[in-house]
Each structure stands twice: as C-alpha cells, then as structure tokens.
Amino acid sequence: MAANGLMAASNVFLHRPENRNFSFSSRTSQTALIGVKGRVTFMGNVKRCFPVVLSMAKTETSVQAVEPVSPGYGISIMVNGCSGKMGKAVIKAADSAGVKIVPTSFGSAEEAGQTVEVCGKEILVHGPTEREKVLSSVFEKYPELIVVDYTIPSAVNDNAELYGKVGVPFVMGTTGGDRTRLYKTVEESNIYAVISPQMGKQVVAFLAAMEIMSEQFPGAFAGYSLEVMESHQASKLDASGTAKAVISCFQKLGVSYDMDQIQLIRDPKQQMEEVGVPEEHISGHAFHLYHLTSPDKTVSFEFQHNVCGRSIYAEGTVDAVLFLAKKIRSKAEKRIYNMIDVLREGNMR
C-alpha cells in the first residue's frame, strides 16, 4: 500500500467478484492513472467503495486447487489379533482415518485359515507357521506398512523378534510378556516402534500429569489416607496397571499405601448397582476411583476416570500409527517411542 493509494504489480489483475459484500474503501478519483513500471495508482479525494479480488496468477497460467491429503494417506496397517475386540476396534478406527487395512493377520493355531470380516473387509488369519514368509511378502507389497499388535501376552516376545527380523515398524498395545526382553529385542533390531500398555491418550495425559505432580511436589499429601477402587470386565483377573501407576505417584506424594489394598470389582451386579457401569459396557469398561482423606478427616480429594468400551484405546492406537508414519517419512531416529511421545507431538485427531 502506497501513501497515496493502492499499488499492484503488472502481473496482478483486479477482478470484480460475484460476492459484492467483500470490498475495500479508497480515496480516489474516478479514473486510474498508470504510473511508472506498470503500477496502478488511484488519485484524488473522492471516497469510493468497490469490490476487489487480487489474483496472483499470470495470464497464461492458472492456479490449480490442491486436494487435501488425509493423515492416513499411503499408510497400510496389518492388525495382528484382528479377531479380538481390540483388534476389531482398531480396524474400525483406522478405516475411519483413511488408513488402508491389509487383508492379512496373525492369530493362534486354532484361528489359522479363518476369515474375519470387519468394516466390509475380509481378513485372512495365519497361524504361527510361515509367519516370517507371510510378513516379508506383505511388507514387500506394502512398503509403508505398520503392524499393529493386539495379540496375547504369551506372544509378545516372539512377535517382537519377528517384526525386528523382517524390519517392519510396529505399534504394540499388547500387555504382558517379558518387557525387559521386549525392549532389548527392539533396540537391537534398530526399527521404529511405539510400545505402550496404555493407548488411551487422555488417560496417558492424566498419568503424565500425575507423574509431573509427584516429581514437582514430593510429600504434598503426606499423612493422607488413600482408598482405591477399580472395576473391569470379569475376564480381567489382575489389578489394573493404570491404577498401580497412579498409586505409585501418590506414594511419591507421601501417601502410604499397599497395592494389595486395591478394591477389585468384577461382579456384574455390583458394577451396575454400586459403581454405575452401564449394562451394555459390563463386558468392556475401566472405572477407577482414588479417594484421599486428610489425617483429621476435614479435607478430601477424589480423582476419577471412567472408560466405557474400547474406542479411546483404538483412537489412541491410530494416532500412534500416524505418529510413527510421520517419523518414518521424515527419517527421524529409529527407536522405541511411547504414548507420551505421541502426546507431545500434538497432532492427535
């Protein structure tokens, strides 16, 4: 903008738009003077208001609109454990995100040869035999392949060794197995991986906040008593790993608590009547309640996080896949990432 009006380079054109609500005002005469070097200068003291659109295109060419690219564009995932509830939930979430689902999966010997249909896609399940040959073939066909593992604890270590041997990146939400051996295997394989026993990104954020609080304010709850209740589907026999992680933070904050004191609720009737779990989610939920009370009983704090269904874990898994794909495409460091790394990236959907 010049002091006396509007200036435009010679390859800029003024067009009258169809939408006349878009306009600007300029003090100008009724005529435009062509100045030095093809500049257009509006002179005068009359105030006029007229619509204008600036087009930077040259006369002989035009700007073509670029279609937005889906975050999952070009990525393919192979979901091992696709016959399970988590595997199916991940496939649905990935399909919604535009991620290509490979029609191949690994399962148990009993599942070998079966076809699982999810989102209108038929996925062939392979048993333990010939896994390396199958995975190598799939990886060759889909160069941007990322494996998602939601199998069983006893398969964790063998699966990680296979992924490392073939060199395929993976996201593992399966818990259990020898975790020390797991990390050692992946580190020695020098591949990309996201490993996290908790894929619910908001739950991970809560855990991270608790960890920060315990590090920054050690002893802040010294003398307080703690009660912990957690409710899961009846098939989960052990105490929640998430509950244990939160309790360890409270211990750093000065609370004395034994993990054996955790109240495990697995009876469906008690879950519905006392905990408030909806009947339709009895077979898949995670309710946690942490109640702190001061020594003189005059102060209390409650922390609670309740999850119904598996969508939070499935969505977090897909975010981990997209995160890992970005790391691979940018040729970032090959290492083991976790959900904290995914959260810090800040690109979750």
Q: Which residues are catalytic?
A: 232, 236
- Tell me the one-letter amino acid at 247: I
Q: Which two tokens stand for residue 226?
A: 């703690």
Q: Which two tokens stand for residue 81?
A: 């454990």
Rounded to whole angstroms, the Cα distance separating 123 from 318 reads: 18
Rounded to whole angstroms, the Cα distance separating 337 from 193 reads: 6
Rounded to whole angstroms, the Cα distance separating 313 from 216 reads: 29
Contact 247, 214 (CB under 8 A): no
Question: H or E segment at 336?
Answer: strand 336-337
Closest CA relative to residue 34, chosen from 1, 53, 3, 10: 10
Residues 6+ apart with CB under 8 A from 178: 156, 157
Residues 6+ apart with CB under 8 A from 266: 231, 232, 233, 234, 236, 237
For residue 325, what are the CA distances in angstroms to 38, 175, 192, 318, 342?
49, 22, 9, 10, 12
Q: Which two tokens stand for residue 267?
A: 């009876």
